[in-house]
Amino acid sequence: MTDAAAPAAQSWKVTLPCTRAEAEAIDGDIAAFAVMDSPPVLMTSEADEEQGLWRLDAYFEGRPSPAAIKLLKTLVPSAAGVKPLVEALPDEDWVTMSQQGLEPVTAGRFHVRNIAADPELPGHVNLLIEAGRAFGTGQHETTAGCLAMLDRMRRVGMHFRNVADIGTGTGLLAFAALNLWSRARAIASDIDPVAVEISADNARANGIGLGDGPGRLALVTAAGGNHPALAGRAPYDLLIANILAGPLIELAPSLCALVEDGGTIVLAGLLDTQADAVIAAYRAQGMRLAERADRGDWPTLRLRKRPSIGWKRPRRINPAARGEAPGFGSI
């Protein structure tokens, strides 16, 4: 997500033909673009069923650079000699447009639908996160990885009473935590006030009560872990952050400061090539890696806070850091 203080950028779409094999290999994965501040949303579709023609659409916030288009073309080698169609989009909800028709996602006990008309899956916790202006619908591997990790934690008997979801996007991971630990108090934050509004709407659609008490979800617009609403409810025994590697590293001191001794942090949004740097940043704050689960190029990390490190005594990686990471939100 972009910094909420910045004006909305013009949205652009880049279209390239591709083969069915290339489309299936992409499958919505944006690993190649993860280092970008605002990665594009990639969608593949069958352009002509009779002729077996497929296409790749990439939705960008802002006009894509030549380097971004060149990187996009590496995903579809069959289009090497084709000039991509690059077009500015009208002032519409382009994330919603790009997410129409997404298939439901099942991760652990959770089944996430993006369209209300899709049937629920019996025997699962069914959540509805309709395509909207914020990310975190469950389609991305990092979000699905977090859902699977939370489910596994509950299955092995872990219990939590005070939960924070940092960079919540659509509220999905906070909803999942409250479904698993129904008497917990939970708070979800995002730098983007639109994401917070959407999370509130999604909470109501999924029967999640809003408020401060047990089994309820509080929502706040916040750029990092030092916001009074987050600090005032600390220490947390479970903190979830599904954002990008850079903000995860920058926020390590402030996030770890919010977690109690023995508490758990679940991190995602990073590539496997970035995992060592993220783990090192959290180890410097007294965390230890308890579990790692990879879905393709995207790992989900579960860390525990060593009892010897008090929750109010973080060590900053950058002495000038303020505990904020402008411009991030849930993947």
- Binding positions: 143, 167, 190, 242
DSSP state of 35: T
Question: Rounded to 10 degrees, what is the CA torsion of 24, 25, 28, 34?
Answer: -170
Task: Report CA torsion sign: 223, 305, 263, 260.
Answer: negative
Q: How far apart are CA 331 and CA 318, in angstroms?
A: 25
- CA dihedral for 69, 75, 80, 86, sign (positive or negative): negative
What pairing do the DSSP bridges indicate for beta strands 216-221 and 209-210? parallel
Q: How many CA atoms lie within 13 A of 56 on its CB side?
A: 32
Nearest-angstrom CA–CA distance, 302 and 291: 5
Tokens 């579990």 -> residue: 291
DSSP character at residue 211: S
Q: Residue 188: in which H helix or E strand, if any?
A: strand 185-190
**Calpha distance 41→60 (Å, rounded):** 7
> Token pair 């380097």 is at which residue?
67
Residues placed in the known binding site for S-adenosyl-L-methionine = 143, 167, 190, 242
